[in-house]
Amino acid sequence: MRPLDAGRRRRRSLTVTSPRAEASLSVPDILPSCRHEFPGGTVLVCPRPEAELLAASRIADLVRSRTVEGGRVVLGLATGSTPIAVYDHLAAWHEAGQLSFGRVTTYNLDEYYPMSPADPRSYRAFMDRHLFHRVNLAANQTHLLDGTVPAAHTGEHCHDFERWIAADGGLDLQLLGLGRNGHIGFNEPADLPTDQALALPTRVVALHPTTRADAMKDFGAEANVPHHALTMGIAAILAARSILVLAFGSGKADAVAQSLVGPISARVPGSLLQTVSSQVTWLVDPAAASRLF
């Protein structure tokens, strides 16, 4: 695979290949019909496997182009079921000797609170399983908010997390999923003036009932789902130089439509992405896009 500068070329000619895919996927062929511009950003509507491959390719291209120049890359990563295949592609390219993470630093969006990193349900364990332990990312290259920090020190820890990102030069690319209720990271819907929502810092949050219900599959029963989490704030997410949002399935259709064409409001945190729309690309499947048209 040849390195591409994804930021420069993504709108015109992104060529995507995968060691798992026999043939390469040529986006110019599908772009005219699948690419749309909305207030919330550029939206590519394509079948989920293509969207996953495009997202992975965009990340790999960024990593390769910077590495060739001797630079470093800072990635913001997400958990949930949505990005799993993206991590599979990245791991496969690494295993095939086509992608190195040696000059990559990562910061994850969120973590349950309280939560031990040794707990298999923690987001640290999720990331180790799906990406970190499958590629050349050493522990000191990867950063998640720490679910074991004493309650009295979470504020300080969250502040430090933001300082570390800034000290590393800021996020080059933030990968985002979308909650069914429109949340990004664990920034839940809130009754807040928009300017205050846009400034929300990295912090402890109470999880929304919809979010806890959705997390039940990982915890066996709703009673086992933590009531709180640590999340990167809205301000830190929007500060990323580019943002790639993934949403798949009809369960996300309302949240996608409200985020992309609804009013900018803290009630739908995904809609806050409209304020930085030139940095945002959405990759959605037809089911998730079904309320957009």
Which of the residues are catalytic? 110, 181, 183, 188
Q: Residue type at 54?
A: L
**Shortest distance, position 161 Cβ to ligand GLP, whole Å:** 15
Site string for ligand GLP, 183-222 (x = CB under 6 A): --xx------------------------x-----------
From edge to edge, which strands make up the β-sheet containing 243-247?
A: 35-38, 41-45, 280-284, 243-247, 173-176, 73-77, 104-108, 142-143
Q: Is 59 left (phi over 0), alpha (psi -120 to 50) or beta?
A: alpha
**Shortest distance, position 271 Cβ to ligand GLP, whole Å:** 15
Segment interacting with ligand GLP, rule: CB under 6 A, options 49-57, 85-93, 160-168, 176-184? 176-184
Residue with smaller CB distance to ligand GLP, 82 or 279? 82
Q: Using the rule CB under 6 A, is 181 a contact of ligand GLP?
A: no
Query: How many residues line the site for ligand GLP (CB under 6 A)?
Result: 13
Q: Residue type at 21?
A: A
Residue 181: what are its φ and ψ, rounded to 5°?
A: -95, 10
**Shortest distance, position 159 Cβ to ligand GLP, whole Å:** 20
List the one residue from 43, 178, 257, 273 that touches ligand GLP (CB under 6 A): 178
Q: Using the rule CB under 6 A, is 270 a contact of ligand GLP?
A: no
Beta strands in the chain (DSSP E): 15-16, 25-26, 35-38, 41-45, 73-77, 104-108, 110-113, 142-143, 173-176, 203-206, 228-231, 243-247, 280-284
C-alpha 11/C-alpha 42 separation (Å) is 9
Q: Using the rule CB under 6 A, is 233 a contact of ligand GLP?
A: no
Site string for ligand GLP, 120-149 (x = CB under 6 A): ------------------------------
Residue with smaller CB distance to ligand GLP, 4 or 86? 86
C-alpha 281/C-alpha 76 separation (Å) is 15
C-alpha 267/C-alpha 255 separation (Å) is 11
C-alpha 181/C-alpha 268 separation (Å) is 7
The conformation of residue 81, written as its DSSP 8-state character, comes to S
List the one residue from 40, 76, 114, 177 that touches ligand GLP (CB under 6 A): 177
Q: Using the rule CB under 6 A, is 273 a contact of ligand GLP?
A: no
Residue with smaller CB distance to ligand GLP, 172 or 214? 214
Q: Using the rule CB under 6 A, is 65 a contact of ligand GLP?
A: no
**Shortest distance, position 272 Cβ to ligand GLP, whole Å:** 14
The conformation of residue 101, written as its DSSP 8-state character, comes to -
Size (the chain), residues: 293
Residue 43: what are its φ and ψ, rounded to 5°?
A: -120, 125
Residue with smaller CB distance to ligand GLP, 18 or 108? 108
Residue with smaller CB distance to ligand GLP, 82 or 271? 82
Q: How many helices (H) and strands (E) does the chain have?
A: 10, 13
Q: Hey, which residues between 71 and 100 contact ligand GLP (CB under 6 A)?
A: 78-82
Q: Using the rule CB under 6 A, is 109 a contact of ligand GLP?
A: yes
Site residues for ligand GLP per CB under 6 A: 78-82, 109-110, 177-179, 185-186, 211
